[in-house]
Structure 1
Amino acid sequence: MAIPDITSGLPAIDHHSHASMARPRTILQIEKQFSTAHLETNVPPEVFDAYITARNRGDTATLERLQAEHQTETILEEGVKFRSTTFFATALREGARQLYGPGGSWDDQMLVAREWAAKSPSFGYDQACHVANTPIVLADVSALDRDIWDRKRYRQVMRIDPYVYPFHDGQTTMRGMEFQRFHAGFATVLRSELRRVGMDAPPANFDQYLQFMDASIERRVHEGAISLKIASAYVRGIDFEPATYADASAVYGALAAGQAADRRTMENFLVRRACQYAADKQMPVQVHVGMGHPEPGMIVGNGAPFLLEPLLQTRSLNRLKICLLHGAYPFSSDLASLVQTYGNLYLDFSWMPYLHHAYLRSKLTEWLEILPANKLLYGSDAGAPEFHVAAASYARQALNHVLNDGVERGVWNTTQVDWLARRIMYENTADIYGLEAVS
């Protein structure tokens, strides 16, 4: 018997995406990017580092040399084959099918993709939003070119992490490149913001740095950022303990003078300062919790949701709306316990619609039975338009399944499930961020 389609026709707000961050890529390039763990574990560390650096720079000569000497591309292709059985691979191809033409061949679909990429950097994503019925997309990106990306559809979420790590060289002895990649991204944004005010490096004085940080965040919010974001789980634990100005200032002064110091006190102070700014401005904050990308570099335990409790217990932040991302997989039940405990917490399940199938349905059932109707947020976490389409499609399928099952079990009536579908797909995000009604 067919399951009634509760979500059909409902618009969605994509609560968390990376629209505009990724350049147009082929499906094979996307699959290779997500298969780098297989390469990392089959070549010497310095070879992996050289491959990632060359790939990011488009250095074809080095890539060809690494293939000749270490079979890097061959190993990556093997990794793609191994990952072909994952739901990720299924979702990527289904997104391409829906986006580029259900009736066309694979070659026809890829031809359409190339034609769209040639039109404009945003053209493919705009088409994906049309197919997915997502009139508003919250984009976690450092900047949005408003000559390309429509201001009404795409709303910027800005990371505070670039301000948290001044003087950090981004080096580590850990495996992989995630730690270095995220620190490099943070440093690039910080340099750009410093240059806006005529500085080549962070000032030696902590008060001056705080003035710069405050003014920079305020300007970016004035230019259109509607939320702050913390992605620090990729480089450290998210246990942002209380820290005094005096201790943070002492650490900053030591680092500015080139001396060794325990950075965490200063980092904690800066994160908390930014969160207090958001609370005072009645602006939400997104936080990455749970695992990272399929590549060594992030310590998965650094994103465990319970680490946030010192921050959550801060009395002056009791009205700060905090959206915890990705269902915190594999800590999904831990996350639900926090969200039902703290009234200002919300659970976003972006990323999950194209990584999980049965698991997402199981967790939606668990979450919807324990959490109030205003707590759950749909999102894609997509940088590629194919995943944007796939995430919306599979999220709707999962909600249809879970909500109909709940009616059959007597958990909800038909009026309640219609309301829940609207709340999850767009009303909750619209309420939290003060967005206009979608249609």
Structure 2
Amino acid sequence: MTETTRAETSKKIRQQQIRSYALVTFNYWNFTLTDGALRMLVVLHFYTLGYSGLEIAMLFLFYEFFGVVTNLIGGWLGAHIGLNKTMNIGLFMQVVALLMLSVPSHFLSIPLVMMAQAISGIAKDLNKMSAKTSIKTLVSNQQSGKLYRWIALLTGSKNALKGAGFFLGGALLSLIGFQHSMMVMAAILMLVLAGSLKWLQKDLGKARNKPKFTQIFSNHQAINILSAARLFLFASRDVWFVIALPISLSTVFGWSHTQTGGFMALWVIGYGLVQGIAPRITGTDNHNLQSRYPLVLWSTALLLVSVMLSLAVTLQWHEQFSIIIGLLVFGGIFAINSSLHSYLIISFSREEGASMDVGFYYMANAMGRLVGTVLSGWAFQWGRLEACLWLSSLFILLTLIISLAMPGQKSTDP
């Protein structure tokens, strides 16, 4: 093969990688926008029907629970049938969930909503697992800086769009109502699904050697450590974010629902933007991507911020100012932690059957959200926002302790 032929082949491969990444990202963006809008639509609509904050949170219980189950088996499914198929199944299931909720209001029973939320939870985690694992197939481990940047961009843009989805959900509810909002979002995702079925690379991420179902649990030490750390990391966020924060802003500080929703949306958007630029903050060369050092460093920084915020709220020191500024700083440092985690799991995962390692890891992520959601309601009833923040600090301390067990140097060996 001549140098010219090699160069042309390499150029075609790069073009195919970029096209695949762009399409995967486009699918993920559209899904995430509707997912954020759906959450806000359900919260606002059922609040107007007289449901309490805790009762509304329980509507999302199946959403989080089935996220755990989906991540556990979704990676195995992706290795068997291909990530393009699991992504498309996720898009289709979200359309089904939206259509279920598009029925007239008098048919919107609690069991129906919880079932639709369960389907949406499965769809969301199939889509996320497929999107993030597919990057592993498009970028080699030798291109660690590029891999980190691509993952950071995908993850950061997703969270920014989820925040935008909060705004979209409120706007749609005001403009066209709950039922028509569901129909519009379902129609958009159907168009996205049609394009994905036509253009997304076939057999993306499909393993040549079909893994056994018993292999869904990881036997890789670094992945198990990362998964445990991820569980407590995301529990530390959701233990105050899901219930305690919006209720506190509305009832304690007298914020309107628009102000409360706007702050939470801006928090998520800012969090996503920091995730996107995390490689610029932490560095992207191999030396800086040693696995233990950055995890310990940024976990420690997050713990310090969380403890200071908890103290400020406990001592009632300029409470409203402390919460707003403290949570914004918390969100920025949390975003860097999350971005590092997302990079390392893709980097450590196997070349063959990467979706199983990623699925196992995001199962722990979903479990953390579930634990945080449940404890948020319990801790808030027991000790208000203050108790939730101290519990968050405890979870971050556990994340830090677990991170200390990571290997000192990033390795791609299984």
Alignment TM-score > 0.5, same fold? no
Choose between structure 1 and 2 for higher RCO, CA contacts under 8 A separated by at least 6 residues: 2
Normalising by structure 1, report the TM-score. Answer: 0.24
Q: Tell me which structure has the larger Cα radius of gyration.
A: 1
Normalising by structure 2, report the TM-score. Answer: 0.25
